[in-house]
């Protein structure tokens, strides 16, 4: 049994016994997840009254090597380590998945018990042995069918996602494309105007308008390509020692003109003694850019934006980006991180609601957390954590 200094419950059986059902529950320390974790643990404890098993609760911050060993990308996660084969359940519907798999896990333990019968007993009860083998094969096939069904549903969801994105792209490209076309046509007409001084001034405005519309279209297509590349796939990360201070300053300088256009003020609280993190620089850059773009978009003119870095623990570094925009309703604060979910207020704005979903995927791939604190009308603060470099 894997050892940990985390809480243990339910060790009623000898852990050396191969027939023992052994589970690991991986959790994080973020306050918003504690209530959900409590419900999962309570559900498991209720199951234990009917069927004995062993459960070990592991905080990922204290046991990062186990997170790497089991290749976890999200929490909470429940890992069945015995009997083999190992199986991992994760996601917001963890209890529903448990209800689906629990009877099968009980049966697999019973099959393991039967397979430990001595050779003499096997020869004495040939009929029972065949029955055990038949049951084991039936369970294996049933699990295979369930896995194939889940893969089919995931593929169907990806197809629906891409169809929706293509429809949105065709619809949303019309506005900037029409605006750019009108600007180009007007430019052509301006060359035949008698007052060339006035026409030259107009051409400058039209060039600027056309350039802006082409930039909008380019951003839409880039977002689409990035989302298509990552949907339904595992991110390939190349972590290394990374200092967030110079990275943040470089990104802020890229957006200075856009903030000046809206008379926005950005304050940066970036201590120089914050340790490096262990992360993929380009992916983390993408997260910060996405959060800063959103902050600029939703912060009103002459509004304020704050970027800060905090060394939370010896193992984590936190980056926060806050604005004084319209805020996010409490009921929607979790859903905004889902793929292509958009708040009603955003449906008239450019974009596809993919950015925050991709941000979560990137941060999860680094074994960090990302969340938002917000009050409608009181602005929003997006936070994410990354592992400190050791």
Q: What is the mean pLDDT of residues 303-321?
A: 91
Q: Distance (Å, rounded) from C-alpha 50 to C-alpha 11? A: 14
Based on the domain organization, do 308 and 345 belong to the same domain?
Answer: yes
Instruction: For residue 102, tell me if it sits in a domain.
Output: yes
What is the percentage of the chain residues whose pLDDT exceeds 70?
Answer: 73
Please check whether residues 246 and 345 belong to one and the same domain. Answer: yes
Residue 373 lies in a domain: yes
Instruction: Identify the pLDDT of residue 224.
Output: 64
Strands lying side by side in the sheet with 265-269:
265-269, 304-311, 316-323, 380-387, 370-374
Q: Is residue 132 part of a domain?
A: no
pLDDT by residue (tens digit) across 21-77? 888 888 877 666 677 777 777 887 777 766 778 888 888 877 777 777 787 777 778
Q: Residues 332-361: what's their mean pLDDT? A: 63
Q: How confident is the model at residue 301, as a pLDDT?
A: 92
Question: What φ, ψ does residue 112 adopt, rounded to 5°?
Answer: -60, -40
Which of the residue ranges 62-76, 88-102, 309-323 would you say has the lowest mean pLDDT? 62-76
Give the integer Cα–Cα distance in Å for 229 and 328.
28
Residues 246 and 375 in one domain: yes
Which pLDDT does position 308 carry in this prediction? 96
Do residues 72 and 206 both lie within one domain? no
Say how far residue 181 (Cα) sits from the centre of its chain.
38
Selection from 72, 332, 335, 339 nearest residue 226 by Cα: 339
Boundary (domain end) residue, out of 88, 116, 144 = 116
Q: Check pLDDT > 80 for residue 118.
A: no
Nearest to 363 by CA among 374, 372, 376: 372
pLDDT digits (tens, 9 = 90+) for 232-290: 455 678 899 999 999 999 999 888 888 998 999 999 999 989 999 999 998 899 899 88
pLDDT confidence band for 230 (50 / 70 / 90): low
Q: Show Cβ contacts of residue 19 under 8 Å, excluding neighbours closer than 6 positions.
A: 83, 109, 112, 113, 116
Q: Quick one: pLDDT at residue 380?
A: 92
> DSSP 3-state helix, strand, coil percentages of the chain (rounded to 5)?
55, 15, 30
Q: What is the chain's alpha carbon radius of gyration, rounded to the nearest angstrom?
A: 27
Residue at which a domain ends, from 188, 205, 230: 230
Number of domains the chain contains = 3
Residue 244 and residue 210 share a domain: no
- Give φ, ψ of 70 to 5 degrees: -90, 0
The CATH number assigned to the domain holding 281 equals 3.30.565.10
pTM over 0.75: no
Is the confidence at residue 341, as pLDDT, over 50?
no
Q: Does residue 141 belong to any structural domain of this protein?
A: no
Per-residue model confidence (pLDDT) at position 384: 95
Terminal CA-to-CA distance of the chain, rounded, Å?
27
Domain that holds residue 64: 8-116
What pLDDT band is residue 13 in, cutting at 50, 70 and 90?
very low
For β-strands 54-59 and 8-9, DSSP reports them as antiparallel
> pLDDT-derived band of residue 304, with 50, 70 and 90 as boundaries?
very high
- Residue 273: CB partners within 8 Å, gap ≥ 6? 311
Angle at 81 between CA 77 and CA 82, to 5 degrees: 140
* Mean pLDDT of the region 351-356: 57
Q: Which of 306, 222, 235 is nearest to 264 (CA)?
A: 306
So what's the pLDDT on residue 290? 87
How does the average pLDDT of the chain come out, rounded? 76
């Amino acid at each position: 049994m894997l050892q940990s200094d985390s809480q243990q419950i339910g060790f009623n059986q000898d852990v050396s016994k191969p027939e023992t059902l052994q589970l690991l529950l991986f959790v994080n320390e973020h306050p918003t997840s504690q209530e959900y974790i409590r419900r999962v643990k309570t559900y498991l404890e209720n199951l234990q009254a009917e069927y004995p098993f062993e459960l070990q609760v592991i905080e990922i911050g204290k046991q990062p090597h186990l997170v790497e060993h089991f290749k976890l990308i999200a929490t909470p996660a429940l890992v069945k380590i015995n009997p083999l084969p190992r199986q991992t359940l994760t996601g917001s519907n963890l209890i529903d998945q448990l209800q689906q798999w629990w009877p099968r896990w009980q049966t697999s333990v019973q099959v393991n018990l039967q397979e430990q019968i001595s050779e003499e007993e096997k020869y004495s009860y040939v009929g029972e042995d065949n029955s055990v083998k038949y049951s084991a094969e039936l369970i294996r096939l049933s699990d295979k069918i369930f896995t194939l069904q889940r893969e089919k549903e995931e593929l169907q969801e990806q197809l629906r996602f891409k169809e929706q994105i293509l429809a949105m792209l065709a619809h949303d490209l019309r506005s900037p494309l029409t605006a750019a076309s009108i600007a180009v046509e007007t430019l052509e007409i301006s060359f035949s105007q008698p007052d060339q001084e006035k026409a030259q001034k107009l051409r400058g405005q039209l060039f600027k308008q056309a350039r802006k519309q082409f930039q909008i279209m380019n951003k839409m297509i880039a977002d689409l390509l990035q989302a298509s590349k990552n949907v339904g796939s595992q991110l390939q990360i190349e972590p290394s020692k990374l200092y967030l201070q110079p990275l943040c300053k470089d990104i802020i300088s890229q957006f200075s003109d856009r903030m000046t256009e809206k008379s926005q003020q950005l304050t940066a609280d970036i201590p120089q003694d914050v340790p490096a993190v262990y992360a993929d620089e380009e992916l983390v850059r993408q997260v910060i850019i996405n959060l800063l773009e959103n902050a600029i978009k939703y912060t009103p003119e002459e509004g304020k934006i704050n970027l800060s870095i905090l060394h939370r623990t010896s193992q984590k570094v936190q980056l926060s980006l806050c604005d004084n925009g319209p805020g996010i309703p409490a009921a929607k604060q979790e859903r905004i991180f889902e793929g292509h979910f958009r708040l009603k207020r955003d449906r008239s704005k450019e974009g596809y609601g993919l950015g925050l979903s991709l941000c979560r995927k990137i941060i999860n791939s680094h074994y960090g957390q990302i969340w938002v604190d917000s009050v409608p009308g009181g602005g929003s603060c997006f936070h994410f954590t990354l592992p400190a470099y050791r």
